[in-house]
Structure 1
Amino acid sequence: MKDITVLVSACGAQFMPGLADCLKQNGERNVRIVGVDMGIDKTVLQMVDALYQVPRATDPEYVDRLLEICKKEKVDVVMPFMSAELLPLIDRKEEFEAIGTKVSVSDRHSVEVTNNKYKFYDFLKENGLPVPKFAPVRSADELIPACEACGYPNNAVCVKATELSGSRGIRIIKPGVSRFDILFGEKPNSFFTTMDELLSTLKERDEMPEMMAMEYLPGMEGSVDLIAENGKILYMAYRESTVNLHSIPQAGELKDNKEAYEIAEKVIAALKFTGNADLDFKNDKDGHPVLMEINPRIAATMKIFKEGGLNLPYLRIKQLLGEKLPDVDVKYGIKFKRRYLEMFCED
């Protein structure tokens, strides 16, 4: 089988060891990895075959730089891992295809809807799909009314920025919990805050990013990670997160969650989605999964799916290259535990 070259963005991120394993240990062919990032971290050279420094994804010259690298390295597939780069890549997808490079992105409509949490909830509601209670927060003055619409002060609420990722802009307001309780009862990385504290923070600036309030769901977290083609799911599996740190799973297990699968099928069909997606769920008080958001790209926990027989990054590459896709039986019951592993280099 023909060897290929894959360009990976944000290659200095924590997901890179897992991704490198998924691409290199595919059982079929040699995959050469070209990594790009804002900074040059020499430890990354242990996981990639070539490394380039690029501007921020929001820089007007970012896509131009990727095109230059793809031409030079004869890249077959670009795999983006940052939400901010998806739309710019979609807009110039034809330029990549003109040089023989496939870009792993869905269509503009799907990405615009899923990249904005408020738009996504509106989309779910319009399509008759279940959503938690939610309300917009476009200014500090809207915070309290929005939270009250979601059940506060009788119930806890979650307030989050609509277009940020990586746990940025998220806080949980739990009635009856004071700043004293948070200081001595929660770890420093806790999302919990008080209404007064959050209100004071939002009033520090005249303008603020768009936010939304939503009812807080107390149950277990998990995700359905999948590959789809024009609204039809080709592969999927559910990962339950048993331990989380900053919303990043630290321990989990592959489970056959038919309720979550049914929701995923309806949402992906409504979006007519193509490519990789990561659907984040949280259980309600009765233990039923509720869809919280979609990341229209591969998730950082991709390695557990590979260990269960579902190598999502590599299968997506085969899909993009028009190759025959294999049948896969997911091995449920696989568990993972995230641990530190230092990498070293010399200047």
Structure 2
Amino acid sequence: MNWSNTALTAANHEPVSVLVTAIGGAGYGEQILKALRLAGGYRIVGADSSRDCANFARVDHAVTLPKASDPNYVDALLDVAYAFGVDAVFSGCEPELKVVSDQRERLERAGFLAPLNPKSVIDTCMDKRATAQFLDAAGFPHPRSVELSSLDDLDRVDWFPVVVKPAVGGGGSVDCHIAQTPRELRYLAELLDLGNRSMLVQEYVGRPEDEYTVGVLHDLDGDFLNSIAVRRELGGALNAKLRVPNRTGRADLGEDLVISSGFSHGYIGPYPEVTGPCERLAAALGVKGAVNIQCRLVDGVVQVFEINPRLSGTTSLRAMVGYNEPDVLLRRHVLGETVSPRFAYRSARIHRSLVENFVPEEPALNWTWAELKSMFVFLASMTPAQCVL
């Protein structure tokens, strides 16, 4: 079927079973869950490391998993996938994404679709040093950046203002700060324990009103499907992680210097002036799946400051306008449907707000992984005659 003029819904097929992890904590796992619910027609197994996950009330089956740092994490993930007969597994947070990426062969051998980018793409994008090196080598504009590993390195930074962030990881603007002077940079270096861990110092560029989060979607064979952008509105406390008055004297940066939070909202549409360069970047990177590119448009030039090799924290917003990335990937690779490149979607302005969830004393949890494992052990111990009885 040609999707160019058809709404992307999943209502007319037998339910595909999907395991979505890390659905609590307002991360992108929750966004995947929301997008699949908007599509309709999916049987969703939702997993989280917390028994108190409010989103357990929004899935068909709920289960707790160990944290990604647990050596049994992948075993647990496979046990849950087997127990509920899922067709595909979406990792909903970066620590789990990294672990699953490293052991993806186990999921593939077991027959589960894991819509992941190639390991090389994930490793490059989750390391901000490697990201900067890739952008340099491929000739894509980006803010100046330097990795610091000790206080002695601070003299290497002679341009301000700068954004200070972890060199590895740190999605959703975790541990990101702004320094407008060498003194502020030294204070942050001491605060962030520079020396025991490295950090990346990146030039602060552009104005907050020119910041975009851009999604580029390829299928898992690497064929381009579509792109979309959210022009962020960073005026509220929910959407800006950090806002400080601009004391640099540089009017080109605006009145305030702003670092966005992981809760993006704003104007959604094609924005070819930013999606075009990002499409070329995704192709050069070798994307197979979804990639999310953070950038600012500075004097007509896209300046990329971060690449997330995964689905976005704006996945459900995009799905609301007909650009439903999880649904498209499942249709393409589980149902075997044809998805035409540049399928139609709407443009819109979408705003987010906080939503309160009533959490009952008895949570909506169906199973813990430990309970499922005990059941497997019990069933394995039974004789064929006992199974018949």
Asked if 1:120 is matched to 2:109, the reply is no
Q: Could you tell me how far apart the structure 1 residues matched to 2:53 and 2:303 are?
A: 41
Which residue is 2:162 aligned to?
157
Q: CA deviation at 1:23?
A: 0.9
- Tell whether the 8 Å contact from 2:127 to 2:167 is kept in structure 1 after alignment: yes
Q: In the alignment, which of 251, 272, 293 is matched to residue 306 of structure 2?
A: 293
Counterpart check, 1:305 vs 2:295:
no
CA distance in 1 between counterparts of 2:264 and 2:116 reads 27
Q: 1:319 aligns with which of 322, 332, 336?
A: 332
Quote the offset at 1:213 in angstroms.
1.2
Structure-2 residue corresponding to 1:102: 113
**Quick one: which of 248, 252, 265 aligns to 2:279?**
265
Distance 2:38 2:16 in 1: 13
**Count of residue pairs brought into register by the alignment:** 319
Instruction: Write the distance in 2 (CA, Å) between the matches of 1:50 and 1:281.
Output: 37
1:207 to 168, 192, 196: 196
For the structure 1 residues 56 and 143, does the alpha-carbon distance in structure 2 shift closer, same or farther, using more than 3 Å as the test?
A: farther
* Cα offset, 1:119, TM superposition: 0.3
Larger Rg: 2
The question of whether the paired residues in 1 share the 8 Å contact of 2:24 and 2:53 is answered with: no
Shift of 1:314: 0.9
Deviation at 1:273, TM superposition (A): 1.0
3-state SS in 1 of match to 2:354 = coil
Identity of aligned residues (%): 25
Shift of 1:250: 4.7
Gaps of 5+ in 2: 1-12, 242-260, 362-389
2:253 is the alignment partner of 1:239: no
Aligned-pair CA distance for 1:322: 5.4
Counterpart CA distance in 2 for 1:308 and 1:325 is 20
Superposed CA deviations along residues 189-213 of structure 1, whole A, max 9, x for unmatched, are xxxxx224213324x57512x2111
Q: Distance in 1 between matches of 2:124 and 2:227?
A: 21
**SS where residue 153 of structure 2 aligns?**
helix
Corresponding residue SS for 1:297: coil
Amino acid paired to 1:255: G
Q: Is the 8 A contact 2:215 2:293 kept in 1?
A: yes
Alpha-carbon distance in 1 for matches of 2:121, 2:206: 28
TM-score using structure 2 length = 0.76
- Paired residue type of 2:346: K
- Counterpart residue number, 2:383: none
TM-score (norm 1): 0.85
Rate the CA distance shift 1:116–1:133 in 2: closer, same or farther, 3 A. same
| Residue among 67, 77, 90 paired with 1:79 | 90
Relative to 1, partners in 2 of residues 1:57 and 1:17: Cα closer, same or farther, differing over 3 Å? Answer: closer
Q: How does 1:7-26 map to 2 (within 5 A)?
A: 7-15=19-27, 18-26=31-39
Structure 1: runs of 5 or more not aligned: 179-193
CA–CA separation in structure 2 for the residues paired with 1:144 and 1:129? 26
Do the aligned residues in 1 keep the contact of 2:162 with 2:180 (CA within 8 Å)? Answer: yes
Q: Tell me, yes or no, if structure 1 residue 198 matches structure 2 residue 188.
A: yes
Q: Secondary structure at the match of 1:135?
A: strand
